[in-house]
A and B are shown apart, each in its own frame.
Chain A
Amino acid sequence: MAQTIGEVSSFRDTYLKAYRGMLLARVLDDKFASLYRTGKIAGGVFLGRGQEAFSVAAGLNLRQGDIFAPLIRDAAGRLAFGETIFDAIRTYLGSAAGPMRGRDGNVHRGNPRAGYLPMVSHLGAMVSVVNGALLAHRFKKIKGTVGVACLGDGATSTGAFHEGLNQAAIEKLPLVLMVANNQYAYSTPTSRQFACEDLVDRAVGYGVQGHSFDGNDLTACLKIVGEAIESARRGNGPQLIVGRLLRLCGHGEHDDSNYIDPLLRTVGYGRDCLKLAEEHLLKEDWADQTLLDAWRNECVHEIEEALATVRREAGPDPYSEDWSALSSRHLIEGQNQ
């Protein structure tokens, strides 16, 4: 069926929105990297450079009421899901005003009441947590919601991934499991991570639908991730999505990533998704270089302003901290142990 002008226009709008989300995430990540290098951030900084197209497609296709459990490289998805750059910066700087109040930081942030789940470092663990949130929707007869859990190729080796995917399949939950196959788990290449041809082959083993594609191609990401999420929303059960990518940075900013095979940068999935999206915008005449530059400047300006505000915010006060891990006040043990 020929596309109508309306559909073309709508896809262009979606593409532009996605591109601007990718750009904001990239500029924010670059800012975190520079803050890290100047010693302004405690702990590590983990960037999504090269994964923005895959990540933004998840965030953009979710609605209020859906569940989103992003991974360390999902700044683009987080922002597209509705996270403010303030909350992103607050967690990295440990602001008491941030959602984690300085108690947890950087990429471990979330807002569980809004369906935005804070990850734990034990990758794979969040899959079943998303399943549980979807089960809660089922118990409460909330219909038409989906949950997205994000993993890297390394996390597919964990037991939690297998248990979680199997559990979702058994319960026919609307889980969309997004695996960014970025070729390295820290320094471990995929050849030491799994022996199957393509991770998507695992889908059939669990009785779920699988999708595998070039995760640098924003058009493919928007289309396939969008379709998979809609399919889950319609009740077709879990979807396993595998995006072929290359991590265009170290595991964290402490890592110079000199182990990455330079040949990988020359293959299809080794390109930079942001540059590819820019080329597409220019080729389609949806934007010109002046406009792209203006958008980047807007992002820089917005982030600098937010950063200036957050820098004035207080960190947690260790002397007024209640140092209690329980909410049941009567069960808290004496503080003088």
Chain B
Amino acid sequence: MSITYLEAIRAAQAKALADDPRVFIYGQDVGAFGGAFKATKNLAREYPGRVLDSPISEDAMVGAAIGAAIGGMRPIVEMQYADFSLPGFNQIVNNAAAFYWRTNVPCPITIRLPSGGIAGGGPYHSQSLEAIYAHYPGLVVMTPATVEDAYSMLLEAVAIDDPVIFCEHKHLYNHLKAEHLPTEAMPTGKARIARPGRDMTIVAYSAMVHDALAVAEELATEGMEVEVVDLRSVKPLDTDTVMASVARTGRLLCVGEAWPWGGVTAEVIARVATEGFGLLDAPPQRLNAKDTPVPYHPSLWAVHRPTTQSIAIAARNLIRL
């Protein structure tokens, strides 16, 4: 048996619905249709009345989730694409994120963002928005890179009392498979050493973890041992694990699919530079998407974001510094 990243997300939602009568799913086309990516396929039939089609109203979708959460429910909101969460941005950051701090009453909502690029996605179906949500206090931002994490972290997202932005990567939906779903999970907020190595550290998250692992594999044939750290969640950000890795390797390359300006890679490098400057044998480097909207044509898109080729070049350059 094997299960995909997308199936893990569906399985986690099915389990959440089965285990807790407070859970419901709300989003565009999530009902009988099963969602644009089929992440909620069959769930409306299995849990009648608890998987609701919403109007195309992201502000109202999140607002309703907030009200329902205050009223004791545990809503999961599916944004059809991460890009479409922006009309709901105000409710997410100014209402949900601030709610617990203002009132001492928790706001347990999970907002699923199908994130990242796929070939042909173009400017409005390919964005990675984890950094702008991580900027706001009061939100947890999860960025699972594996089938196991997609399952266990989504279950935790629904279980905890805080609003969670769950960035699931569209490219991984059907490309990534695991043999079975985990029964035990690594805690959210802890980064994972995806591959140990002594010569340099590549910090990545979401789909970029797999590109980083491929590069580590390639560089191993050239005698370079690259350690790959998978952040798993960008907020909280596990500085300790990153710092410990840099202490072992002395070199840091941080890779993100999102734009560079003020992003997650900038945050990681700022932390390492300010708290671990003495650990570094070379200036820390980062690699991001180009600072333009995401292009449509597959050949433009392929080089817009970091690739195994561009990561390998950056890694080789860093080793030589």
Write the residues of chain B forming the contact surface with A, with a CB cutoff of 8 angstroms: 22, 24, 50, 54-55, 57, 59-73, 75, 87, 90-91, 94-95, 97-106, 137-138, 140, 160-162, 187-189, 235-237, 239, 271
- B24 contacts which chain A residues (CB < 8 A)? 139
Whether the Cβ atoms of B63 and A136 lie closer than 8 Å is no
CB within 8 A of A166: which of B55, B72, B94, B137?
B55
Closest residue of chain B to A126, judged by CB?
B63
CB–CB B94/A333 < 8 A:
no
Q: Which of A100, A104, A110, A327 contacts B162 (CB 8 A)?
A: A327
Q: Does A163 reach chain B (CB closer than 8 Å)?
A: yes
Residues in B whose Cβ lies below 8 Å from that of A135 = 64, 67-68, 71, 73
Complex interface: chain B residues within 8 A of A117 (CB): 67, 70
Contact assessment for A122 and B90 in the assembled complex, using a CB-CB cutoff below 8 Å: yes
4 extra A-B contacts, CB within 8 A, seeds A125-B63, A331-B188 = A128-B67, A133-B67, A325-B137, A325-B138
Q: Which residues of chain B are near A110, meaning CB under 8 Å?
A: 103
Cα–Cα distance between A293 and B200 once the two chains are bound (Å)? 81
Tell me the total A-B contact number using a CB cutoff of 8 A. 151
Chain B residue at smallest Cβ distance from A113: B105
* CB of A187, distance to nearest CB on chain B (Å): 23
Cβ contact within 8 Å between B237 and A333:
yes
A330 surroundings in chain B (CB, below 8 A): 187, 189
B189 pairs with A128, CB closer than 8 A: no
**Contact between B105 and A112 (Cβ–Cβ < 8 Å)?**
yes
Complex: chain A residue closest to B233, CB-CB? A331
Q: How many residues of A contact B (CB 8 A)?
A: 48
- Return the contact of B57 from the options A67, A140, A166, A328 (Cβ within 8 A): A166
| B contact residues around A325 at 8 Å (CB) | 97-98, 100-101, 137-138
Interchain CB contact (< 8 A) of B73 among A131, A139, A337: A139
8 CB contacts below 8 A, A to B, read: A125-B91, A131-B64, A132-B63, A136-B72, A159-B87, A160-B59, A167-B64, A325-B100
Query: For residue A202, which residues in chain B have a CB less than 8 angstroms away from its CB?
Result: none
A101 interface contact, C-beta 8 A: yes
B138 and A132 within 8 A (CB) = no
Bound-state CA distance A337–B60 (Å) is: 34
Given contacts A128-B60, A128-B67, A132-B67, contact A326 B140 (CB under 8 A): yes
Q: Which residues of B contact A121 (CB under 8 A)?
A: 94
Contact A125 to B236, CB < 8 A, known contacts A163-B60, A166-B60, A325-B98:
no
Q: At the interface, yes or no: A35 with Cβ under 8 Å from chain B?
A: no
CA distance A325 to B236 in the complex (A): 12
Q: How far is the CB of A166 from chain B (nearest CB, A)?
A: 6
List residues of chain A with CB within 8 A of the CB of B162.
326-328, 331
| A122 x B94 contact (CB < 8 A) | yes
Complex contacts, A126 vs chain B, CB 8 Å: 63
Contact: B70 with A132, CB < 8 Å? yes
* B55 pairs with A170, CB closer than 8 A: yes
Residue of A nearest to B189 (CB): A331
Of the residues B60, B87, B98, B101, contact of A131 by C-beta under 8 Å: B60
Q: Which of B50, B64, B105, B187 contacts A128 (CB 8 A)?
A: B64
Rounded to whole angstroms, the CA-CA distance of A136 and B68 in the bound complex is: 5
Give B267's nearest chain A residue, CB to CB. Answer: A337
Could you tell me the distance between the alpha carbons of A327 and B59 in the complex, rounded to whole angstroms? 24
Which residues of chain A come closer than 8 Å to B187, judged between CB atoms? 330
A326, B138: Cβ atoms under 8 Å?
yes
Chain A residues with Cβ below 8 Å from B106 are: 327
Q: Which chain A positions have C-beta within 8 A of B63?
A: 125-129, 131-132, 160, 163-164
Chain B residue contacts of A296, Cβ below 8 A: none
Instruction: Give complex CA distance A127, B57 in Å.
Output: 13
Contact pattern, A 162-176, Cβ under 8 Å of B = 1, otherwise 0: 011011001000000
**B94 close to A112 (CB less than 8 A):** no
> B160 → chain A, closest Cβ, in Å?
5
Shortest Cβ gap from B96 to chain A (Å):
10
Judged by a CB distance under 8 angstroms, whether A39 is at the interface is no
Smallest CB separation, B142 vs chain A (Å)? 10
Separation of A74 and B72 alpha carbons in the complex (Å):
26
Of B62, B65, B67, B271, which one neighbours A134 at CB under 8 angstroms?
B67
Min CB gap B80→A, angstroms: 15
Alpha-carbon distance A117/B107, docked complex (angstroms): 13
A132-B68, A136-B68, A167-B57 known; A99+B95 contact, CB < 8 A: no
